[in-house]
C-alpha cells in the first residue's frame, strides 16, 4: 500500500503517517535536528572512544526523534504499548527500517559506553558509528524535505583534494 493510500485509509496500527513540507515542520523537529547536530559534533571532537560512540549513537537517536516528531501521529483508540524509537521509526518510515535495526543493535554498546566501559567499543567501531550517524542525519534531513548537510566523508574528501 502506498504512503498516500495508507494516509487515506489509516494504517490500523494506531499511528497515522503524514509527510509535511519543510515549512510545516513542528518546532520540536527543528529542536531535535539541532540537538542531533550538536551530539554529532561532540562525537566528532571527543578524544575518548566510549564518549565518541555514545555521542554518535545519541545523535542518530535525536535525528530519529526529529523525524518521528514530524511524522508519527497517535490516533484515537486503543492505547498502544510503549515502543522504543527504533521500532517506531521502522513502523512510521518503513524505508528506514534497516537504519533503525542497525542503530537498535548498537543500543547496548552505547549503554555500556555511557557507563564508562573502556572495552564496550573499539576505536574503529566508534569512528564507523560517527560516520554512520552523520549519514543517517543527512537521510533524515532529506526525508523531512530539507537540504541535507554535507556529510563528514565528503568534507574530508574535498579537503584532501584542496590540499593535494
Q: How many CB atoms are located within 10 Å of the residue 90 CB?
A: 19
Distance separating alpha carbons of residues 66 and 148, to the nearest angstrom: 14
Task: Yes or no: say if 151 and 134 are a contact pair by the CB < 8 Å rule.
Answer: yes
Q: In sequence order, what are the residues at sequence separation of 6 or more whose Cβ sits closer than 8 angstroms to the Cβ of residue 111?
A: none
**DSSP code of residue 82:** P
Under a CB-based contact definition with an 8 Å cutoff, are residues 41 and 60 in contact?
A: no
Q: How many whole angstroms separate alpha carbon 62 and alpha carbon 103?
A: 12
The domain limits of the chain are 27-72+83-153
pTM: 0.78
Please say whether the beta carbons of 4 and 14 come within 8 A.
no
pLDDT at 83: 82
For the stretch 11-55, pLDDT in tens is 444 444 455 555 589 999 999 999 999 999 999 999 999 999 999
Question: In whole numbers, what is the pLDDT of the chain averaged over residues?
Answer: 83
pLDDT of 129 higher than 70: yes
Lowest mean pLDDT among 24-28, 46-50, 85-89, 137-141: 24-28
Following CA atoms 150, 154, 157, 161 in sequence, which dihedral angle do they give, to the nearest 10 degrees? -50
pLDDT at 19: 52
Amino acid at each position: 500500500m502506498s504512503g498516500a493510500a495508507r494516509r487515506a485509509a489509516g494504517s490500523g496500527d494506531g499511528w497515522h503517517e503524514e509527510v509535511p513540507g519543510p515549512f510545516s515542520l513542528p518546532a520540536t523537529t527543528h529542536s531535535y535536528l539541532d540537538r542531533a547536530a550538536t551530539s554529532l559534533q561532540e562525537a566528532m571532537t571527543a578524544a575518548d572512544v566510549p564518549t565518541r560512540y555514545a555521542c554518535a549513537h545519541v545523535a542518530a537517536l535525536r535525528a530519529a526523534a526529529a523525524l518521528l516528531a514530524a511524522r508519527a501521529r497517535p490516533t484515537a483508540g486503543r492505547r498502544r504499548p510503549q515502543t522504543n524509537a527504533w521500532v517506531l521509526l521502522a513502523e512510521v518510515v518503513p524505508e528506514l527500517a534497516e537504519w533503525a535495526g542497525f542503530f537498535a543493535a548498537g543500543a547496548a554498546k552505547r549503554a555500556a559506553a555511557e557507563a564508562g566501559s573502556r572495552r564496550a567499543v573499539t576505536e574503529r567501531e566508534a569512528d564507523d558509528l560517527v560516520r554512520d550517524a552523520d549519514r543517517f542525519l543527512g537521510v533524515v534531513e532529506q526525508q523531512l524535505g530539507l537540504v541535507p548537510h554535507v556529510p563528514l566523508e565528503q568534507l574530508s574528501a574535498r579537503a584532501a583534494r584542496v590540499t593535494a
